[in-house]
Amino acid sequence: MKLIRFGEPGKEIPGILMEDGTRLDVSAFVEDYDEAFFADGGLAELKRWLQGNAAAAPRIEHTVRLGSPIARPSKIVCIGLNFRDHARESKMEIPVEPVIFFKASTSLVGPNDDLIIPKNARKVDWEVELAVVMGKRCVYIEPERALDYVAGYALHNDYSEREFQLERAGQWVKGKSADTFAPLGPFVATTDEIPDTGHLGMWLKVNGAFRQRSSTSEMIFDVPALVSYVSQFMTLLPGDVISTGTPAGVGLGMKPPQYLKAGDVVELGIDQLGESRQKVVAWQPATAETVSGRPAK
């Protein structure tokens, strides 16, 4: 199944993207794709419900905005320096253990929402990434069992402000957490749709020019290893996101470095996980109010 959420920001309701591109409204059966949905076996029940009810479910127009395909999770955990080609580009050592950092869950937005350059930001950069969405609560799991706890996968752009991240002291989280810095989707593909995450092509363009072109086969630590590793340090809840790192081709690695400016257009995709597109806009006090601080549903 491919899970989508659609509607106005903060008022999204759940849907399903069918193989033929049809979008179904499933809000008659599911309240939201949130922690309770995944924890209570919602995926299996939804699959059963669709068999009898898909034909009669309301269709959603393609002009309707897509939101993040999951409700705001308890946490977004990111992996740094997890691609061999990116480590080479950054002239960094291959990490002995995965590098972990957080991204504020308020940075989550829809796949085609505008990217807002944060207040006082000058070095906004892109990172196409494979995101893992957890399906069950877990802690201290072995790699061999890790995928049993995963609900599915999604396309993610781990936007980063390099000055905030690297030049403002302390942890990377400062450069990773601004509003709109985590466009997710267009959909979450459940694990049965992608049995092998080890050979997925991934790409990103800025203003039509390729910047990143790689594959998950460049990953240093694979998805089961990462899920297991993160669970050694924290409990993962249903709906939590683990973003698995970016390949070569970020703006920071260009000579000279190149960063995004208002008016730029960023497009990205991963095999079997669709494509997304963000227009870059300048920060304004009014836009901050409309994007952040929305009450959780």
Q: Which residues bind Zn ion (CB under 5 A)?
A: 127, 158, 246
- Whichever of 25 and 158 has its CB closer to Zn ion, that residue is 158
- What span, in angstroms and rounded, lies between the C-alpha atoms of 271 and 56? 30
Sign of CA dihedral 89, 91, 94, 100: negative
Strands, DSSP E only, in 23-114?
A: 23-25, 76-80, 99-103, 108-109
Retrieve residue 59's tokens. 């269709």
Q: How far is the CB of 78 from Zn ion (least distance, A)?
A: 5
3-state secondary structure of 213: strand
Q: How far is the CB of 22 from Zn ion (least distance, A)?
A: 33
DSSP-assigned letter for residue 162: H
First to last CA, the chain: 24
- Whichever of 241 and 280 has its CB closer to Zn ion, that residue is 241
- Whichever of 107 and 246 has its CB closer to Zn ion, that residue is 246
- Whichever of 113 and 127 has its CB closer to Zn ion, that residue is 127
Q: How far is the CB of 158 from Zn ion (least distance, A)?
A: 3
- Whichever of 234 and 252 has its CB closer to Zn ion, that residue is 252
Q: How far is the CB of 79 from Zn ion (least distance, A)?
A: 7
Tokens 């199944």 locate to: 1
Tokens 């901050």 locate to: 288
